[in-house]
């Protein structure tokens, strides 16, 4: 079994990555199952391609900071655009974490998790592709892909960690995880390590994050959703 270091699960150092093409990298355990799944999908007329794969801590920080400073749009849990200027800091934080993980808390740090889409269908779709749930439902360009994954992904070792929203991370039918390897990273996560990484980072809104990090860790990183004592 792979030994996961703290730097590895935090996305600060991952020495088990291999090239997956088009600028993507995956954990060495994941590349063969992914390519096999991709080939099987293609044989069934599905152009399964990667939107996102491995992202390191710094890349995740850049994504978070763009959203915190209003340089990237914020969405509610239903995928509707929010008014940035009307949000308090805590509201802004929860809006970001509904769709984008904290640096150090992202499953994409591991190389085991991927976002996928049907490239051919999206190319011929009359609309802007935003990677939201409706695009994977009936009438959306990736509906056939979503159905195919539901029937076939487990044969290749993949599952959806965000299949439904529990009041934390939004439902993400495009997000797949290679279960066997991802579980070793899940077991290595801890609040103390994440806290230290956030404290030492250049993340925007640091004081807001640290003041409620134990709750954020449970709700969004572990994806346990909202507890009975919390309010949404």
> Can you read off the two tokens belonging to residue 31?
């590349």
Burial 100-123 (b: 16+ CB within 10 A, else e): bbbbbbbbbbbbbbbebbbbbbbe
Reported confidence tier of residue 232, pLDDT bands at 50, 70, 90: very low
Res 230 pLDDT > 90: no
Q: Please tell me the predicted confidence (pLDDT) of residue 2.
A: 64
Which residues on neighbouring strands pair with residue 49, listed in sequence order? 117
State pLDDT tens for residues 10-48.
Answer: 999 999 999 999 999 999 999 999 999 999 999 999 999
Contact 174, 116 (CB under 8 A): yes
Q: Please tell me the predicted confidence (pLDDT) of residue 227.
A: 57
**Average pLDDT value for the chain:** 95
d(CA 60, CA 53): 12
State pLDDT tens for residues 137-168.
Answer: 999 999 999 999 999 999 999 999 999 999 99
Q: β-pairing, 48-52 with 17-21? A: unpaired
Res 226 pLDDT > 90: no
State pLDDT tens for residues 40-52.
Answer: 999 999 999 999 9
SS3 labels along 191-230: HHHHHHHHHCCCCCCHHHHHCCHHHHHHHHHCCCCCCCCC
Report the percentage of the chain scoring pLDDT > 90.
93
Reported confidence tier of residue 97, pLDDT bands at 50, 70, 90: very high
């Amino acid at each position: 079994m792979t030994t996961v270091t703290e730097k590895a699960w935090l996305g600060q150092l991952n020495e088990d990555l291999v090239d997956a093409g088009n600028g993507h990298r995956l954990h060495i355990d994941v590349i063969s199952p992914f390519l096999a799944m991709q080939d099987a999908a293609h044989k069934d007329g599905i152009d399964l391609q990667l939107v996102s794969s491995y992202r390191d801590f710094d890349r995740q920080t850049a994504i978070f900071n763009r959203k915190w400073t209003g340089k990237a749009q914020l969405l509610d849990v239903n995928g509707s655009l929010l008014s940035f200027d009307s949000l308090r800091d805590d509201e802004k934080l929860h809006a970001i974490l509904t769709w984008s993980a904290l640096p150090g808390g992202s499953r994409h740090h591991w190389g085991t998790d991927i976002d996928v889409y049907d490239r051919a269908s999206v190319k011929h779709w009359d609309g802007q592709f935003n990677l939201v749930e409706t695009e994977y439902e009936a009438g959306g360009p990736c509906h056939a892909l979503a159905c195919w994954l539901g029937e076939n992904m487990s044969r290749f070792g993949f599952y959806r960690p965000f299949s439904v929203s529990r009041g934390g991370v939004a439902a993400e039918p495009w997000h797949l995880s290679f279960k066997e390897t991802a579980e070793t990273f899940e077991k290595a996560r801890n609040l103390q390590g994440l806290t230290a990484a956030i404290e030492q980072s250049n993340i925007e809104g640091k004081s807001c994050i640290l003041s409620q990090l134990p709750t954020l860790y449970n709700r969004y990183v572990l994806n346990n959703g909202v507890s009975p004592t919390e309010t949404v």
